[in-house]
A and B are shown apart, each in its own frame.
Chain A
Amino acid sequence: MLSSHIKKTGNSLEKTEKGSWVMKYIISGILGAAALGLMATAASAGTLEDVKAKGFLQCGVSTGLAGFSAPNDKGDWQGLDVDFCRAVAAAIFGDGTKVKFTPLSAKERFTALQSGEIDMLSRNTTWTINRDTALGLNFVGVTYYDGQGFMINAKKLPGVNSALQLSGAAVCVQTGTTTELNLADYFKANKMEYSPVVFEKLEEVDAAYDAGRCDVYTTDQSGLYGIRLKLSSPDDHVVLPEIISKEPLGPAVRQGDDKWYHIVKWVYFGLLTAEELGITQANVEEMKASGNPEIKRVLGTEADTKIGTDLGLGNDWVVNIVKAVGNYGEVFERNVGQGSPLKIARGINALWTKGGLQYAPPIR
């Protein structure tokens, strides 16, 4: 492909300036440099090596969504998506703090990942076929099963208790999200009218809804609970019962680097497996002495194990993850569950053994 490019260019240039050796010399110089430039890109190291060389993981998160990724009052990032970044950093470096966060709007997120500005995206992003195929991304799994809902101000709209009563409403929504598309589909399918009020940043949507610019706020239901807490009078607002879409939220990496893809994917499975086996932040050290062969395999205490090194990590990768952030259940409860102001029930995000959808392939 590349060589044919050069050849074609070279020929056409020769035609325009026949016999000028200086020209040829310069052109071949330019094209040679171009070819080198391309070669250099091709030969660049994998993401894991880049991350190790940098000494930290660059992780894309949201600009502020309570429970998923938002800075606390001390300025430290917190949330389920943030903890997933820390888990990956812990698996690589044995230290969950070796991560830097890049806050991204919905619009910026994919470009930031495609261009290599961030190493991975962990930003309440819905997994869709388009994003998986046409955008050059690979989703590693579903860290949170969500669905789109509606929130209204019950004090101002006392009669409304179903989304089907929303015809004619002004709806606040963040641009460039699947939410925006589901909203259009839902109102069209139910033959209802609405007027969209669209902003680029979540905070702008929050402010507009709080100021009464729109009647309805729509986004993923988990997000609605988080946003409600930030409103000027949270108790006036109710989340309507309807869930109008599937929103499997998960981290994504760039295509074309299978090794990195596997690491991020198995960090997620590692978190799930730890919960399944009852390995917690508190008992992980004791568990290392366990005689249970499954736990020994997962924690890398089995003799001559190669599970971790085959992944490109140390054999104690799960130990490091759990030490840094705990298992999946602990991460969930701390950020969005009972240990948080959001108090979201596990629901379909429970492990498969407890009737949920969270399921990890075996680590063996």
Chain B
Amino acid sequence: MATQDIPQDVGGGRASLFYDPKVRGIFFQILVVVALVAFVYWIIGNTVENLKRANIASGFAFLNGRAGFDVSDTLIAFDSDSTYRRALLVGFINTLVVAAAGIVTASILGFLIGIGRLSHNWLIRKICTVYVELFRNIPPLLVIFFWYFGVLSVLPLPKESIELPFGSFLNSRGFYFPKMVWGEGSMLVPVALLLGIAMSWFVARRAKQRQMATGATFPVFWTSVALIIGLPFLALVATGFPLSFDFPQKSTFNLTGGLQIKPEFLSLYLALSFYTAAFIAEIVRAGIRGVSSGQSEASAALGLRSAQALRLVVVPQALRIVIPPLTSQFLNLTKNSSLAIAIGYPDLVAVGGTVLNQTGQAIEIVVIWMVVYLGLSLITSAFMNWFNAKMALVER
């Protein structure tokens, strides 16, 4: 609150309430809030009134209507008989998928390149520098076009598909690969997987306790790999391989059967990952540079090898510098995913645009867009703030 406590004139009771800085402060703040509320109320009332005058239907009731159009990429059941609400949900899920996949890939890629820029190897260092300077300085839309028109659309047509191992195909309609069809008793496999993960976690905890107590180390990584891959495999063997594959087949028009990743998704996903990775690489480099060289020297003096020093000493400290700017890169990636519209990937903006045009409910759709992107951004930043607080230096 922007008020100041000025000592009151105790003797003079004549001072009006109006000249009391505290009262005045509260008064003007209420005034601003009320004026703001009144303004918003007026804007909404005005809009409704104008829409009514122009004979344009308003309200969100249209969401229950039959969509009547089809969407190319759907993760949940959707056809032209579904509602507009479901169409928007399909778009929302597509946005989430491309954003989540992009964030994971961009982080891994960015981390590797960021470390690569600090490499002692001249070639690796230069390649990483060129990568960063290239992708950082091209608008994301052009990167998307590069992948869509420059890479994926020059692939051969379905009839001349490039055959890849394991019955996969690559052509200008996307990447086709066999679909796993689970037979009877296959529920044991995911159970085994979960068990493997749980056991790995337990092993890691025990190993840490033991190292703390005795100093003896334990190969946690390889044990975990064995548990997480080995247990489900054992389950498969035990149930007699209840797994079959549905391979993509060539038909009149396209390949049928199997699973397909469409070029629209691929180009958007690759473009967002590659573009954002360039920024993340710089953030990671800055983070590592930000850790004083005394830390590396001290680790070396303690006998840690340079990979160990990086993993145990430098990176944990660098993360404290990295996380806050990383958050804004994640938010940027999520928001940039709305560029999907340029290549026809059905994300929230593209599907919302179709709904907007089929129903004419422009204001409602724009409100939905804004609320969803705002919500997504706030959730992402809340999570990253929590993560940041967790990683922050705990003062003892």
Binding site for B on A (CB under 8 A): 1-2, 5, 9, 13, 16-17, 20, 22-23, 26-27, 30-31, 34, 37-38, 41-42, 106-107, 110-111, 114, 130-131, 134-136, 156-157, 159-160, 165-166, 168-170, 175-177, 180-181, 183-185, 188, 194-200, 204, 207-208, 211-213, 215, 254-256
Contacts and interface: CB of A to CB of B under 8 A. Distances in A.
Contact of A169 (B49, B50, B80, B254): B254
A254 B56 CA distance: 10
Interface centre among B70, B173, B360 (most CB of A within 10 A): B70
Contact of B30 (A9, A17, A156, A255): A17
Interface string B329-347: 0000000000001111010
A88 B244 CA distance: 67
B38 A30 contact: yes
A110 B357 contact: yes
21 contacts: A2-B49, A9-B38, A13-B34, A20-B27, A107-B354, A111-B362, A114-B56, A166-B253, A168-B252, A168-B254, A169-B253, A176-B354, A184-B69, A185-B68, A196-B69, A198-B350, A199-B344, A200-B341, A213-B172, A213-B263, A255-B55
A53 B125 CA distance: 65
Nearest to B159: A156
A17 B353 contact: no
Interface stretch (B40-48, B131-139, B302-310): B40-48
Name the interface size band of chain B.
Answer: 35 or more
Given A38-B46, A185-B80, A196-B71, A131 B360 contact: yes
B243 interface: no
A17 B32 CA distance: 13
A1 B49 contact: yes
Given A5-B45, A180-B69, A196-B71, A175 B354 contact: yes
A124 to B, nearest CB: 15
- Ranked 4 nearest A-B pairs via Cβ: A176-B357, A184-B80, A135-B360, A136-B56
B353 A107 contact: yes
Contacts of A22: 31
A41 B50 contact: yes
B57 interface: yes
Given A181-B68, A213-B173, A31 B38 contact: yes
Contacts of A159: 252
A121 B358 CA distance: 17
A211 B172 contact: yes
Contacts of A183: 69-70
A313 to B, nearest CB: 25
B72 interface: yes
Contacts of B57: 134
Given A30-B42, A114-B54, A176 B153 contact: no
A198 B50 contact: no
Interface in B173-199: 173
A262 B376 CA distance: 48
B35 A197 contact: no
Contact of A204 (B35, B251, B253, B344): B344
Given A13-B34, A38-B46, A197 B344 contact: yes
B39 interface: yes
Contacts of A17: 30, 34
Contacts of B31: 22-23, 26
Contacts of A211: 149, 153, 172
B356 interface: yes
Contact of B251 (A2, A20, A131, A168): A168
Given A181-B69, A198-B350, 6 more contacts: A180-B69, A184-B68, A188-B80, A198-B354, A199-B344, A255-B55
Given A196-B70, A196-B72, A134 B56 contact: yes
A170 B173 contact: yes
Contacts of B34: 13, 16-17, 23, 27
Given A176-B354, A176-B356, A196-B72, A31 B42 contact: yes
Nearest to A255: B55
A27 B46 contact: no
B170 to A, nearest CB: 14
A213 B149 CA distance: 10
Contact of B354 (A114, A180, A213): A180
Contacts of B42: 30-31, 34
B390 interface: no
Contact of B41 (A9, A170, A195, A199): A9
Contacts of A111: 362
A198 B342 CA distance: 10
B157 interface: yes
A110 B360 contact: yes
Interface centre among B38, B149, B172, B256 (most CB of A within 10 A): B38
B253 A215 contact: yes
B54 A170 contact: no
B199 to A, nearest CB: 43
A177 B357 CA distance: 8
